[in-house]
Amino acid sequence: MDHKTTHTTTLRRRCGALLALGLVTAMATACGPGEDDGDSRSAPHDIVVNLGGEVVVLDDLNASPRVVGPRPAGAENADAYRLAGPRQLASGQIIGIRDGGVVAIEPSKPGTAVLLGQAGAWFPAADGKRLWAVTEEPADTACNGLDLPQSVVARYTVTRYETSGRPSRTTSKAACGLRPVADTSRGLLALRTTGDTGGGGTGVRAVTDLVLLDDRANTATETVATNASLVATAGNRVIWRDDTCGKGTCTHVYDLDKRKNAPAPSCEGGDTVGVGTLDPSGHWYLSALRTNRLAILDLNDNTCQEQELDALPAAGSSDLDETFGIAWSGPHVLLLDQRSGALTAVDASHHKTDKRTEPLPVGNQAQIWSASTE
């Protein structure tokens, strides 16, 4: 029996004995959070970062960068590794779009990518282990003859892939005017264009509803929200923004299990602004507030924890991913300031931040690809 197992067994016996004696104070001290509550996780480690053309691994938050993907010769001012929409699946692979295709990368070999198929966008499958690749055909040819809003520019097809590169043979061609944007426990989620707003030509903007689709992606089976934009979705939750909202709480949360919408948790420091980041379990949503503070929304408890943004001075009021490279690992989210190289870990479960001592040498919009807390 190893030391960790021995310690855990001893602690359980001690907690049981204290409970039997009714020693509540002693039990709370000896059996407090992080000791044996099943939720204890280490700080983020094995952090894979694309510094903007050179891929490195950090053994921990303050470790020296270890180069695993050298900058290619002749690419001093370019980023040959850059991914659009990088994210780590529950299966462990890093997924993103590169050069018109969706690729899978093993964290142990971050310099090598496996091409899965053509794609202009992608999103995780509901099981967190597979993915959907999105391709599009111009509406002029794919939707010829149909009376559609001007903002409908393409017809979308989604194909589900295994991360090994083997297609699952599950392909759906969405009806014109429907754009699949996420997979949920109740089917594909799509934006349905119902009209246009704004000026003509390039100034036109789509008016959209969020809807759940049938298996063929041709018919909406349920409307999640009207006049809405998708912010994020994970677990059993969909976060969306009311496009008609002028002030106050414009961010809402739809519970897929309860089939019910509710305003996002309120914060004393004001309303959330821009687009934040939702952890893969759907438990925590991290966003900026109008008062230039960081908000950790606990969607399970409907609470808001605020923190100063001194360690994250570039956040402002923009979307977080416009300023930061972002990656979740368990309850921890890593934020890499793409301009200064400041790297900060936020523990959403305990409302704590830990900032790297020395900034990283970033360039060309650096990215965090993955991290581990196991």
Coil vs helix vs strand at 109: coil
Structure tokens at 249: 């709480």
Say which residues have a Cβ less than 8 Å from residue 154's Cβ, sequence separation at least 6.
136, 137, 138, 139, 142, 179
Q: Which residue has the higher pLDDT, 83 or 166?
A: 83
pLDDT at residue 10, rounded to an integer: 39
Structure tokens at 55: 């891929």
The per-residue b/e assignment along 278-292, b for 16 or more CB within 10 angstroms, e otherwise, is: bbbbbbbbbbbbebb
CB 208 within 8 Å of CB 192: yes
Q: What CA–CA distance (Å, rounded) separates 282 from 19?
A: 33
pLDDT at residue 27, rounded to an integer: 34
Q: What CA–CA distance (Å, rounded) separates 146 from 223?
A: 23
Q: Is the dihedral of CA 83, 85, 87, 89 positive or negative?
A: negative
Mean pLDDT, range 147-171, rounded to an integer: 89
Structure tokens at 69: 């993907």
User: Which DSSP string do the residues of 264-284 spell out, in sequence order?
Assistant: PPP-TT--EEEEEEE-TTSSE
Per residue in 347-362, pLDDT tens?
999 988 899 999 999 9
In the chain, the amino acid numbered 350 is H
Q: What CA–CA distance (Å, rounded) separates 40 from 347?
A: 12
Per residue in 192-229, pLDDT tens?
999 998 766 667 899 999 999 998 888 999 999 999 99
For residue 283, which of 215, 235, 226 has the smallest C-alpha distance? 235
For residue 323, which of 308, 344, 338 has the smallest C-alpha distance? 338
Q: What CA–CA distance (Å, rounded) separates 314 from 319?
A: 11
Mean pLDDT, range 123-142, rounded to an integer: 95
Q: What CA–CA distance (Å, rounded) separates 70 from 299?
A: 41
Q: Do β-strands 260-263 and 251-255 pair in parallel, antiparallel, or remain unpaired? A: antiparallel
CB 265 within 8 Å of CB 303: yes
In order of 73, 88, 164, 240, 329, the CA distances from 128 in angstroms are 36, 9, 14, 21, 13
Per residue in 92-107, pLDDT tens?
899 999 999 999 999 9
Structure tokens at 244: 């008609």
In the chain, the amino acid numbered 67 is V
Q: Which residue has the higher pLDDT, 10 or 197?
A: 197
For residue 292, which of 275, 265, 270, 322 has the smallest C-alpha distance? 270
Structure tokens at 370: 């993955």
Structure tokens at 70: 């050298």
- How many C-beta neighbours within 10 Å does residue 140 have? 9
The secondary structure of residue 39, as a DSSP letter, is -
> Residue written as tokens 């919408």?
261
Per residue in 252-277, pLDDT tens?
999 999 999 999 999 998 888 888 99
Per residue in 227-247, pLDDT tens?
999 999 999 999 999 999 877
Q: Which residue has the higher pLDDT, 308 or 113?
A: 113
Structure tokens at 353: 């931040």
SS3 of 191-207: the string is EEEEEEEECCHHHEEEE
Q: Please state the φ and ψ torsions of residue 20, each to the nearest 5 degrees.
A: -65, -30
Q: Which residues pair with 93 in a beta bridge?
A: none
